[in-house]
Amino acid sequence: MEKLYIPEEFYKEEVLCGYTVSEHMKKVWAVELDLLYQLQQVCSKFGIRYFASGGTILGAVRHKGFIPWDDDIDLMMLREDYDRLLAHADAFEAPYLLQSLETDEGYLRGHAQLRNTQTTCIVRSELALKLPYNQGIFIDIFPLDAAAPNEKLLQKQKKRLASLMTQAWDSYFSGPGYHEDTAWKKNRLLHPVMPVLGKVWDYKKIMRAYFKEAQRFNDRNTRYVAKVAYACGDRRMYDLREGFETFTMAPFEMLEVPLYGDYENHLKRQYGDYMKFVIGTADHGGLIFDPDLPADEWLKEHQDQVKEAVDKLHGRA
């Protein structure tokens, strides 16, 4: 697939809104912009709708690109478009990987990620878990499902989703053949039944039940849609269904992203006066980025950091 052309001057360290964006972060941004470009090509080919989400909406409106202290790109799709994208996962050629439950072993997330497999992006707090799936730099792609029509049903759904996700992680990490020095293996001392359940349960079946639960209300004409599979109950994720009937294109660095019709109200709910800002940090925090090295190679070169994380997890540090 054709890569996005990014001019050399883009990579230079720059002060934006009083915040210094390093050359290193510019390289990370460049990888993410290329991932966005790859997604745009596939969505255009198959007529799949997508919209900017989260901080990417704010960045497009307020900065015409990345929020200077942000480190990722977030997109969202109505469930029918999301499913169509997953059905065309093979349209992405190496080094690109549309990561989901079905395309990468051990991937336990409620949403998809498009990754560049020749790069590294590891959540530092997860370093000790030795996660099996690809950990290249990514952009997030969230499915939107019908929001529960009332608070009582919402709370029940949240509990079911939380329980299923816990079961899926316990099942995978307690199963045979996984690393002995992870948090889940350590928990075998506290939960002796886990090794048995890890052999009996199929984490993929549990995750499919999780996705089915997230879509519980999709046959109802609810007023709102939300990132149910990602953060059920977080009010900033809720948007009017009718707002997705129209969109506005907005500049995002050297590309453009579509903003759904109700984006202004979304920004007001999430940020209040969204044109005012306080220099902050990215939501993730603690991400390990290497735009030049695949994650498996990074882990081999930094075994001391992995050991330190494992020792800290087990109280040996």
Distances from the Cα of 229 to the Cαs of 80, 141, 202, 214, 233, in angstroms?
A: 14, 11, 19, 5, 10
Are residues 160 and 178 part of one domain?
Answer: yes
* Structural domain total, the chain: 2
pLDDT confidence of residue 175: 60
What separation in angstroms does the CA of 77 have from each of 27, 149, 300? 27, 20, 36
Stretch 217-235: mean pLDDT, rounded?
A: 81
Instruction: Output the pLDDT for position 70.
Output: 93
Both 28 and 93 in one domain: the answer is: yes
Q: Are residues 39 and 186 in the same domain?
A: no
- Is residue 251 predicted with pLDDT exceeding 90? yes
Helix or strand or coil: residue 107? coil
The pLDDT-based confidence of 179 (bands split at 50, 70, 90) is very low
- The answer to whether the beta carbons of residues 147 and 238 sit under 8 Å apart is yes
Give the span between the Cα atoms of 55 and 38, in whole angstroms: 20
Examine the domain organization and report whether 117 and 26 are in the same domain.
yes
pLDDT digits (tens, 9 = 90+) for 274-292: 888 777 665 555 899 999 9
Confidence (pLDDT) at 97: 98
Same domain, yes or no: 54 and 199:
no
Q: Does 203 lie in the same domain as 127?
A: no
Q: Same domain for 205 and 244? A: no
Q: Do 124 and 261 reside in the same domain of the chain?
A: yes
**162 and 99, same structural domain?**
no
Considering the domain boundaries, does residue 74 fall inside one? yes
Residue 1 in domain: no
Q: Residue-wise over 69-98: b if at least 16 C-beta within 10 A, else e?
A: bbbbbbbbbbbebbeebbeebebbeeebbb
Tokens of 133: 């799936």
> Residue 239 — very low, low, confident or very high, per pLDDT cuts 50/70/90?
confident
Among the ranges given (236-250, 271-285, 286-300), the one the predictor scored with the smallest mean pLDDT: 271-285
- Its domain, for residue 262, covers 8-146+225-313
Asked whether residue 18 falls in the same domain as residue 137, the answer is yes
Residues 15 and 141 grouped into a single domain: yes
Weakest mean pLDDT among 46-50, 176-180, 218-222: 176-180
Q: Dmax of the chain from CA atoms?
A: 57
The domain boundary, picked from 168, 197, 216, lies at: 216
Residue 199 forms beta bridges with which residues? none
Residue 2 domain-assigned?
Answer: no
Mean pLDDT of 229-253: 81
Q: Which has more pLDDT, 282 or 170?
A: 170
The pLDDT tens digits of the residues spanning 121-152 come to 999 888 888 888 999 999 999 999 999 999 89
Inter-CA distances, 236 with 225, 248, 274, Å: 11, 20, 13
| Residues 7-22 pLDDT 10s | 999 999 999 999 999 9
- Per-residue pLDDT, averaged over 221-239, amounts to 76
Do 116 and 207 share a structural domain? no
